[in-house]
Structure 1
Amino acid sequence: MKTHFLRPRDVPELQIWAEVCFFTALALGLPVLFNAEDPYWTQGGFSWPVLGPLLVALRYGFSKGFISILTLLVGQLLLIQSNILDPQSEFNINAMIGYIIVVMVAGEFRDVWERTNQQQSIQLAYVSDRLEKFTRQYHLISSSHDRIEQMLAGHTLSLRESLQAVRESIGKLKERRLDSAAEVILNLFIEYGSIEKAGLYKVENDKIQEPALASVGKMSEPSNSDPLIAAMFDEKELVSLKNPKASSGDSKYHIAIPLIDVNDTIYGAILVEKVKFFALKENTLTLLAVMAGHIGDLLRHEITNPIMTREESPYFKRQVKHANKEAKRYKIPSHFLKVNALSINDESRRLMEYLTEARRGLDIYLYDNEKQVLLILMPLADELEKDGFVMRMNSWCKERTGKTLQELDIIIEQEVAFPVNKDELSKLVALHD
């Protein structure tokens, strides 16, 4: 059974007045019944009837206690006037004034305590509510984090691996047109970008063409006036809700991804209406942007062989420009090496041919067999990886020929870290002409 004894503010008002009347009546009646000769206890040193109003004041505050003590005193005077009490009973006015003051002080103390307690209760309720919300959000984030870890444990979002998958998937297609490759391309973005609802559209003259070539989820009709789409065509790069231009209007898309080549020609666009919240972080957006750029180049050019001959040099030039562009825009490191055999012989030919066979997954080579010149583009390679590759070249040379690169008169004529300025890039791509 629920009790209100320890929580006076929760007691119904009717019950409060009933208790006030009860304690006041006890204080008035018990002395008459048990000590009629001295009902005010003036001979005993302490007026016990005042305990009733005092208890009322301590429990219900100043106003109730003051009413109780006044009722007690008025009641005693009326009893004397009605001859129920001995008219000779001493009514000590000074003692009674003192008792009134004591009850008033006790009542005021209780009111101050009650206000303080109520204020602290409100603060506690606020803090408890905030703690509960924080706890729910913490468990939600923790659960989401665990799911992300579980997902990423079996699939690491590696830029190198994703670009390798892009090249392999597009290279397997019989016709590398956007319409025939649409499903493959969209599936790659779904896998690496955690996209839940998106469509791949053809682009002509910077206009989205309907219908969607491929989609996941039911897409709404695209509008070229959408701020995210407009920002994508304006900036010629991936834009998300974080983009200042896109956030200036109300867009129904989360991400707009252009399939763009190194010449800034947009062949298609992936419009994302729904994506998992953690996919909007910077490294994932960079991954999607770089993937889109590589797909744009693969769709534009028919050559996918990463080891090219002199006749294929225009494509190699475009790949060098693309690597420099990504290094500038996304801070993705890449390196360029020119390996030149000054003395052409069987040993140098053997080594150069072996170097082309030992190519790293994403590296692109331009090999001039006649002049024994090898140009190496190393996308996503930082300074440490480049130095490691040069050391391995020396090791391969020693293992294959028993001589060092220097002894074979093979030199690394150029070592360039991207990004470089436009003039340096022009000189760089002209090295093999």
Structure 2
Amino acid sequence: MKKIRTLLLIGFKRNWVAWLETTVVALFSIWVWNKNGAVNVETVLGSETSFFWPLFGPMLISIRYGFASGVICGLMVIAGVASSLQLNENLQNFSFSLSVGMILTLMIVGEFRDHWHEINQKFNLDHDYMRQKLESFTKNYHLLKVSHDQLEHRIAGERVSLRASVNRLQEIALKNTENRFENMRSAFLNIIAEIVGLEVAGIYRIKNGQIDKSDHAVISEHHVLDLKDPMLKNMMETKKLLTAAKIGKDEIHRSRYQVCIPLLDTADNLQAIAVAEKAKFFMLTPSNVALLSLVSNFAADLLNEHLQVPVLNAQQKHLFEQYMTRAEDNRRQFGADTSLVVFVGFPPKYRKALQEVISFRRGADVYWHCFTKEKEPVLVVLLPLTTVWGAQQYVNRIKELLIQSLGDVSMTISALEREVEILGPLMLGKDKKFISSFVQELGN
């Protein structure tokens, strides 16, 4: 029904088709007029038909195409009927009043149609304008959303330097041999705030396995320590870093905290804890959480007076294995792999260079100076959160350092590699079996 109404009310868009339709309708109306014999008012009034059917065609044209087309169609009908009567010598029966009535009717209908068409066009223009505005708004919204997402990823991807974070903590620890926690707690909070965007948080000392409320530092006065919090209890039991980002879709986060951080040293002693009510959620990426775990572990080692590492001697093999175990835990929990490089067999001329290599140690790296079964000196370097590419760059710098220490301009890297065997870079995850068996053979 809607299609029929549309076809009746809306004309063709092509002009030649519209004029062809007008001509055909005019010819048909002339035929109807002549057929009915309605050429005089008296004839019309005396007939059984009470409606002037020839009016229907021009009126339809007037509705479809407007005032001008309707009037032209009506004039064509009147001219056609008058011409046919003239040919039949019956022009005296032509009804002038019917002709005038038809033209007036067509003018009224056509004027109404034109007015309706103008209103319709105005609404269509308004609709098109609003649609364009909506499309523009939608595009701008999506552009803004994409820009916002890119900014979030960029901020989340700008990881705080591990070396810089560790060095800051180490400097504070070296300056303050006593009351280290009191001097380090605020700095540690600031560092982890940079890593994961903490806004409301607190750090507390652990004494005898219990949280010491009096020995603490906070970010924001809105921080509250809730000892009954389920996430805090879980963290104290498991001694693992917990974040709200690990909550599943079907799980309900019932904790007031978004991040719970244990400061667990290499000897598996809980030195302190940090809890945060508010953090920038998009910064809780796996890489940032792994960095947070590593910095927390390093800070815990600094708080332990008996763990002044990370340059280990041959007798501290068990401690190096503990570092490897912790690195493996970080890999399993956060997907952050650790690289390992081994330097085997330093000839006497490289002994001084060996000390320079050790002094080149980066903040979180762990160095173990030991020997093979054949009593060859070995330096094992553990590089936390370091990719194969980063570890290879480290090896290249060490090679350059060894060559420079000799002062021999003729010394080449290939000659150095013949005298000092370099194993690696090895990845703790991929090369775990080889690393474990190799470390077992090392010692005093």
Q: Is the counterpart of residue 357 in structure 1 residue 367 in structure 2?
A: no
**Distance apart, 1:417 and its partner CA:** 1.6
Q: Structure 1 221/167 Cα, relative in aligned 2: closer, same or farther at 3 Å?
A: same
2:379 paired with 1:374: yes
Name the residue aligned to 2:86.
Answer: none
Partner of 1:419: 429
Aligned to 2:277: 273
Q: What whole-Å deviation, never above 9, does each CA across 1:230-273 have from its counterpart, x for those lacking one?
A: 67566922413463279623554443333334576654433223
Tell me how far apart the structure 1 counterparts of residues 256 and 131 of structure 2 sit (CA, whole Å). Answer: 36
Contact 2:368 2:380 in 1 (8 A): yes
Correspondence list, 1:278-297, <5 A: 279-281=283-285, 283-297=287-301
1:92 deviates by 2.5
User: How far 1:365 moved relative to its partner?
Assistant: 1.5
**Which residue matches 1:104?**
109
Please tell me the residue identity of whatever aligns with 1:161. A
Map of 2:326 onto structure 1: 322
Structure 2, unpaired ranges of 5+: 1-61, 67-94
Is this contact kept in 1: 2:244–2:253, CA < 8 A?
no
Aligned residue for 1:432? 442
Q: Is residue 199–residue 215 contact of structure 1 (8 Å, CA) maintained in 2? A: yes
Pair 131,184 (structure 1): closer, same or farther in 2 beyond 3 Å = same
1:215 is displaced (CA, Å) by: 0.6
The normalised TM-score by structure 2 is: 0.59
Distance 1:277 1:157 in 2: 16
Paired residue for 2:172, among 165, 169, 172?
169
Summarize the alignment of residues 51-200 of structure 1 with structure 2, pairs less than 5 Å apart.
Answer: 92-108=97-113, 110-111=115-116, 114-115=119-120, 117-118=122-123, 121=126, 124-125=129-130, 128=133, 131=136, 157-175=160-178, 178=181, 181-200=184-203
Match of 2:252 among 248, 252, 276: 248
Instruction: Say which SS state the counterpart of residue 183 (structure 1) adopts.
Output: helix
2: distance between equivalents of 1:123 and 1:206?
Answer: 70
CA distance in 2, matches of 1:277, 1:191: 13
Q: CA deviation at 1:112?
A: 5.4
How big is the shift at 1:203? 5.8
> Which residue matches 1:12?
none
The match for 1:306 is 310
Secondary structure at the aligned position of 2:186 is classed as helix
1:116: Cα distance to partner? Answer: 5.9
Deviations 1:307-359 (A, max 9, x none): 22223333322222233333444443432233332xx8632533433432343
Give distance in 2, aligned partners of 1:199 and 1:248. 24
Percent identical pairs in the alignment equals: 20
The residue number in structure 2 matching 1:22 is none
State the Cα deviation string for residues 81-116 of structure 1 (Å, max 9, x = none): xxxxxxxxx982453344334433443454355356
User: C-alpha distance in 2, partners of 1:106/1:252?
Assistant: 72
Rounded to whole Å, the distance in 1 between the matches of 2:328 and 2:111 is 84
Q: Which amino acid aligns with 2:348?
A: D
Alignment-derived partner of residue 87 in structure 1: none
Do structure 1's residue 335 and structure 2's residue 339 form an aligned pair?
Answer: yes
Q: Post-superposition shift, 1:214?
A: 0.9
- Bigger drift between 395-404 and 302-311 goes to 395-404
Take 1:174 and 1:351, find their aligned partners in 2: how far apart are those partners? 30
Residue matched to 1:75: none
In the aligned structure 1, how far is the partner of 2:398 from the partner of 2:325? 25
Secondary structure of 2:277's aligned partner: strand
Tell me the distance in 1 between the aligned counterparts of 2:132 and 2:230.
41
**Contact 1:202 1:212 survives alignment (8 Å):** yes
Distance 1:230 1:176, change over 3 A: same
1:203-282 alignment, distance < 5 Å: 210=213, 213-223=216-226, 226=229, 229=232, 236-241=240-245, 243-244=247-248, 248-249=252-253, 251-261=255-265, 266-276=270-280, 279-281=283-285
What residue identity is the alignment partner of 1:255? V
State the distance in 2 between where 1:101 and 1:204 align: 101
Query: Matched residue of 1:244: which SS?
Result: coil
SS of alignment partner, residue 177 of structure 2:
coil
Residues 160 and 380, structure 1, Cα contact 8 Å, conserved in 2: no
Code of the residue aligned with 2:220 in structure 1: it is: G
Q: Quick check: 2:227–2:233 contact (8 Å CA) kept in 1?
A: yes
Shift of 1:126: 6.4
CA distance in 2, matches of 1:250, 1:130: 41
Counterpart of 2:172, as a letter, is: S
Moved more, 134-143 or 378-387: 134-143
- In structure 2, the residue matched to 1:34 is none
Answer with 197-206 or 210-219: which moved more: 197-206
Residue type matched to 1:430 in 2? Answer: Q
Q: Could you tell me how far apart the structure 1 residues matched to 2:342 and 2:437 are?
A: 13
Q: Quickly say closer, same or farther: Cα 1:192–1:386, change in 2 above 3 A.
A: closer
Matched residue, 1:14: none
Task: Judge which range, 109-118 or 312-321, deviates more.
Answer: 109-118
Alpha-carbon deviation of 1:123? 6.2
- The question of whether the paired residues in 2 share the 8 Å contact of 1:170 and 1:184 is answered with no
Unaligned runs of 5+ in 1: 1-56, 62-89
Q: Find the counterpart in structure 2 of residue 8 from structure 1.
A: none
In 1: Cα distance, 2:230 partner to 2:97 partner: 89
* Structure 1 residue 179, shift from structure 2 partner: 5.4
2:370–2:378 CA contact under 8 A, matched in 1: yes
Give the whole-Å Cα distance in 2 for the aligned partners of 1:264 and 1:134.
Answer: 54
TM-score (norm 1): 0.60
2:33 is matched with none
